[in-house]
Amino acid sequence: MELRKVFDTIPEQFDRFRPRYCPALFEDLIAYAGIGPGKTVLELGPGTGQATDPILKTGCDYHAIELGAHLCRMMKEKYGSYPNFHIVNDDFITHDFGNQRFDLIYSAATIQWIPEPVAFSKTFALLKPGGTLAMMLTRGDYRTPNEALYQKIQQVYAAHFKPETEYSHGSFRYAAAPDYGFVDFEKREYPGERVMTADEYVAFCGTHCDHIVIPEPEKSKFFSGLKSAVLEAGNRIVFQDTYILYLTKKPIND
């Protein structure tokens, strides 16, 4: 199974344990893109809605495209009662949007799954002149709060982290947007924090695509090792998060 399709095997766990984004990020994004009633928005790969609520609730004409059938079902269960909610279960790479054009296209830790030339060229074509492309992600630091725990966790990874398929999508060049015609590229950062118990941390790690595909018996040993490390540290692990928002626009005169 392709790694980008693995998330669809754990929709409930994904919904409960994947991190959300801070309100300040959405306030900036909504203001920057001028999103509200009368504006049309496309979210790429919403998962189970980790970045959906603040945008949908502006009253915009919200659209989403989700690769996973189970994730799409959960999105419909959550948001299907909103008259401005629309979602299609398909692959952004191959989907034909017809004459649809958008004021905002945004991605929460999704666009890196799309080959760069497709990601930027297709979003550029789908945006209205002056429209915004927004790309967000979370970087979590659990080393700074507890170096000893961090080292113990690294030992677990060294011993048992042996996924069947290696994750190779961490090198997506967000800053390459201007190479595809976008302008006014900028990066904004927002601080956050998560505190988890051992069980919560294991469940969170179990939502990482390359962690899900670790074969047995290493998979059980890996997650057991993570749990033991956090339990020994007082059943508490702290993440100092940085929420990153990349913003860029399609030129008005395009």
pLDDT in tens, 118-169: 999 999 999 999 999 999 999 999 999 999 999 999 999 999 988 776 655 5
Residue 137 contacts residue 108 (beta carbons within 8 Å): yes
Please state, for a pLDDT cut of 70, what percent of the chain lies above it. Answer: 93
pLDDT of residue 211: 83
Alpha helices in 57-168 (DSSP H): 69-79, 116-126, 147-160
Instruction: Give the residue-averaged pLDDT of 82-104.
Output: 97
Q: Is 18 within 8 Å of 71 (Cβ atoms)?
A: no
Q: What is residue 39's predicted lDDT score, i.e. its pLDDT?
A: 98
CATH 1.10.10.10 is the classification of domain 3-141+168-193+239-249: no
User: What is the distance in angstroms between the CA of the first residue and the CA of the last residue of the chain?
Assistant: 39
Mean pLDDT rounded to a whole number for the chain = 92
Position 54 confidence tier, pLDDT thresholds 50, 70, 90 = very high
Task: Quote the radius of gyration of the chain (alpha carbons, Å).
Answer: 19
Model pLDDT, residue 73: 93
**Number of residues that make up the chain:** 254
Domain residue spans of the chain: 3-141+168-193+239-249
Q: What is the pLDDT of residue 139?
A: 94
Q: Are 102 and 130 in contact (CB under 8 A)?
A: no
pLDDT at 171: 78
Judged against a pLDDT cut of 70, whether residue 2 lies above it is answered with no
DSSP 142-183: -TTT-HHHHHHHHHHHHHH---SS----TT--GGGGGGGT-E
Most confident range (mean pLDDT) of 33-42, 160-169, 197-206 is 33-42
Q: Looking at residue 168, what is its pLDDT? A: 59
Tokens of 13: 């766990």
Confidence of residue 8 (pLDDT cuts 50, 70, 90): low
